[in-house]
Amino acid sequence: MKSDIEKAKSLLKSEGYTCVVCSEDKIYTSTERGVKPLLAWIDGNTDMKGFSAADKVVGKAAAFLYVILGVKAVYADVISEPAKQVLNENGIDVEYVTLTDAIRNRAGTGFCPMETAVKSISEPAAAAEAVRRKIEELK
């Protein structure tokens, strides 16, 4: 039987999702980009404690949101060094394909606004608030 992280990775790659979180027979998926699905799960009080996640891109903001969700493992196609550090510091297992200094914005012209919003933050709840403020600014 596949482990939860292997199941999440397989679904991420084969089904075109941007994010998959699973534990045994419970599976949550999203095709939305960025931190939107993570915030939706937090806002919906979705219990993901002990789940494993697979995500296309994990920056520091997403890492903090995974900490809030309580996942035990995160796989990322691309992860930033600050995100890896946040996950490691919070006892979350990390697997990845590409490690980068920082996540770039979608246009490739600078850094991801979410990564920038949490750059100097070290506490998950403060990071979530900073992410929400940045999303409102960008609307």
**Region for 45 from its dihedrals, namely left if φ exceeds 0, alpha if ψ lies in -120 to 50, beta otherwise:** left
With b meaning 16 or more CB within 10 Å and e meaning fewer, what string describes 105-139?
eeeeeeebbbbbbbeebeebeebbebbeebbeeee
Residues 112-133: tens digit of each pLDDT: 999 999 999 999 999 999 999 9
| Element (DSSP H or E) covering residue 96 | strand 93-100
pTM, two decimal places:
0.95
Residues 44-72: tens digit of each pLDDT: 999 999 999 999 999 999 999 999 999 99
